């Protein structure tokens, strides 16, 4: 079984103190930093762009796990790579040529992720699994933080885990959306090894980030 990793979403951080929030995450044992990029078009919200990522890059050695919820995504990939993203995750619906976008990310020397919304079938990316590093399963409809976890996506996680085992692939399964202390064990048991969590990491236990990360990692 792969090591369980926590990728805290800075969408739930104090945006006026982002540098300090990231330092707190690093000290608390976060494995990477999840950055949600939204354009108000592909999803109904606006967040941050390359300048913010670039400004934060010098303040931590943790990988930046950048989830691009923007359309069309292809022409912006290089901007986020140049800003300091280590993992770039895109949605198949947001590009005219998923194969070409995957290659573009790889050519820029970054890890490649593909994200599946709750209604997006696994079959849409099955032929690309050998070309990517990570599948991000959305357990809420993307666009806003603090939504309720959708347990029906666990079947997709289990199916993907079985394909990975069957085809002997080196692939991470990341899950994002409503991840908390009530469902962390079930998503790990289903096969996810990277858990994205924002509200739980930053707000639970009076903001004790280390304690919250440790609990989320526990089976």
Whether 114 and 136 have beta carbons less than 8 Å apart is answered as yes
Considering the chain, what percentage of its residues have pLDDT values greater than 70? 99
| Nearest alpha carbon to residue 6 among 171, 187, 163 | 187
Whether 202 and 13 have beta carbons less than 8 Å apart is answered as yes
Q: Which two tokens stand for residue 139?
A: 């357990």
| Mean pLDDT, rounded, for 183-194 | 98
**CA distance readout (Å), 219 to 22, 79, 101, 208:** 25, 38, 35, 19
In sequence order, which residues have a C-beta less than 8 Å from that of residue 24 and are 6 or more positions away?
209
Give the residue ranges of DSSP H helices in the chain.
Answer: 18-28, 50-57, 77-83, 98-107, 154-167, 184-190, 199-207, 209-217
31 is a catalytic site residue: no
Is 36 in a helix, a strand, or coil?
strand
Please tell me which residue in 31, 36, 39, 133 is annotated as part of the active site: 36
Place of tokens 């796990």: 65
What's the confidence (pLDDT) of residue 1?
A: 75
Please tell me which residue in 39, 65, 133, 176 is annotated as part of the active site: 176
What's the confidence (pLDDT) of residue 75?
A: 97
Per-residue pLDDT band for 18 (boundaries 50, 70, 90) equals: very high
Q: Which two tokens stand for residue 136?
A: 């991000």
Considering the chain, what percentage of its residues have pLDDT values greater than 90? 95
176 is a catalytic site residue: yes
Arithmetic mean of pLDDT over the chain: 96
Q: How far apart are CA 48 and CA 33, in angstroms?
A: 14
| Nearest alpha carbon to residue 13 among 1, 3, 23 | 23
- Least confident span in 39-48, 87-96, 170-179: 39-48
What's the confidence (pLDDT) of residue 145?
A: 64
Q: How far apart are CA 37 and CA 60, in angstroms?
A: 19
Model pLDDT for residues 135-149, shown as the tens digit of each residue: 999 999 987 766 799
Per-residue pLDDT band for 5 (boundaries 50, 70, 90) equals: very high
| Mean pLDDT, rounded, for 99-107 | 98
| Mean pLDDT, rounded, for 81-100 | 98
| Mean pLDDT, rounded, for 10-27 | 96
The fold of the 5-217 domain, in CATH, is TIM Barrel (3.20.20)
CA angle 81, 10, 19 (to 5 degrees): 80
Model pLDDT for residues 41-77, shown as the tens digit of each residue: 999 888 999 999 999 999 999 999 999 999 999 999 9
């Amino acid at each position: 079984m792969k090591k369980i990793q926590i990728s805290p979403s800075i969408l739930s951080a104090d945006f006026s103190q982002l540098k300090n929030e990231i330092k707190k995450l690093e000290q608390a044992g976060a494995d990477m930093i999840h950055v949600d990029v939204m354009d108000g078009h592909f999803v109904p919200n606006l967040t941050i762009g390359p300048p913010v990522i670039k400004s934060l890059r010098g303040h931590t050695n943790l990988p930046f796990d950048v989830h691009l919820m923007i359309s069309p995504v292809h022409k912006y990939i290089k901007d986020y790579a140049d800003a300091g993203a280590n993992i770039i995750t895109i949605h198949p619906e947001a590009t005219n040529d998923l194969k070409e976008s995957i290659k573009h990310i790889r050519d820029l020397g970054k890890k490649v992720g593909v994200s599946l919304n709750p209604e997006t079938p696994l079959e849409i990316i099955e032929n690309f699994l050998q070309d990517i590093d990570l599948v991000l399963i959305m357990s809420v409809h993307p666009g806003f933080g603090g939504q309720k976890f959708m347990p029906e996506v666990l079947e997709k996680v289990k199916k993907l885990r079985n394909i990975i085992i069957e085809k002997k692939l080196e692939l991470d399964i990341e899950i994002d959306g409503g991840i908390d202390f009530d469902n962390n064990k079930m998503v790990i048991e289903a096969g996810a090894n990277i858990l994205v969590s924002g509200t739980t990491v930053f707000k639970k236990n009076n903001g004790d980030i280390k304690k919250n990360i440790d609990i989320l990692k526990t089976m």
